Amino acid sequence: MPYENIILEIEDQVAVVTLNRPDKLNAISPELHEEIMQACRQLGEDDGVRVVIWTGAGRGFCSGVDLTAARPQGEHQPRSERIDEYGWVGRQAIEIYRNLNKPTIAAVNGVAAGAGMSLALACDMRVGSASSRFKTVFIERSLSPDSGMSFFLPRIVGASRAFDLVYTSRFVDADEAYRIGLLDRLVPAESLLDEAKELAQQIAFWPPVAMQMSKRVMQRGMESDLEEQLRYETHGIVFGRRAPHDVEEAAASFREKRPPDFTGE
């Protein structure tokens, strides 16, 4: 389907979704929010896509929610109501975005703030450059964290660092972001997207059903106790047998000392 607020490109089993409101630092409007969810549904159903990269057009990844565009009558609507509306939107968008059944990589080009930072944190991995910056921002707007930030941030950087970033609302530059785990890889700015695509290609090489189940198992592991997780891991192994060709191909290529050819079947 055609999109107006994102650019969707698919090549060699890798989709690149670019948030495309550069004049607003890719702030999330209702239209952009809806297109993000539509793109997630489309990509989730496309067996030709194995990995999804999210990035932003222009100077930033995403500056958060565009409260000025909350709804057409927004100038006559109390700010508290617009914020409450976007709290609901944030929950809805993050759930479908996080649950996309493909590995996801955020290529963080510039600032990721507020709900935009949450979008980056909701990806499985984050690649950045010297221009990458993060800012929680909520406390400056007399808000508490939403869009999943209170879930993702402490799990990624630890509880005390998460409190620090929320309470101070300070900018975190690329070097600190890499040091504390907000970024998994720090690369030259001019090759950011190329590096993200190279990483995506490495991931796309592996059997897609096993990769999808690995994502589910890892996500579940952040919320389960050991006994429950051991049972779920067994479920994951059983689920992986739904791609018998890839199971056999993994063993055959190992025996024959050749590269495997995984088809997802």
pLDDT higher than threshold 80 for residue 147: yes
pLDDT at residue 7 in the model = 98
pLDDT at residue 265 in the model = 67
Across residues 127-139, what is the average pLDDT?
Answer: 97
pLDDT at residue 74 in the model = 45
Judged by average pLDDT, the poorest of 43-47, 62-66, 188-192, 233-237 is: 233-237
- Average pLDDT value for the chain: 88
pLDDT higher than threshold 60 for residue 223: yes
Across residues 40-58, what is the average pLDDT?
Answer: 96
pLDDT band at residue 98, thresholds of 50, 70 and 90? confident
Q: Which of the two residues, 115 and 246, has the higher pLDDT score?
A: 115
Closest CA relative to residue 122, chosen from 189, 62, 74, 68: 62
pLDDT at residue 229 in the model = 80
pLDDT at residue 87 in the model = 54
pLDDT at residue 80 in the model = 47
Across residues 88-114, what is the average pLDDT?
Answer: 87
CATH (one of 2.102.10.10, 3.40.50.1820, 3.40.190.10, 3.90.226.10) for 6-204:
3.90.226.10
pLDDT at residue 90 in the model = 64
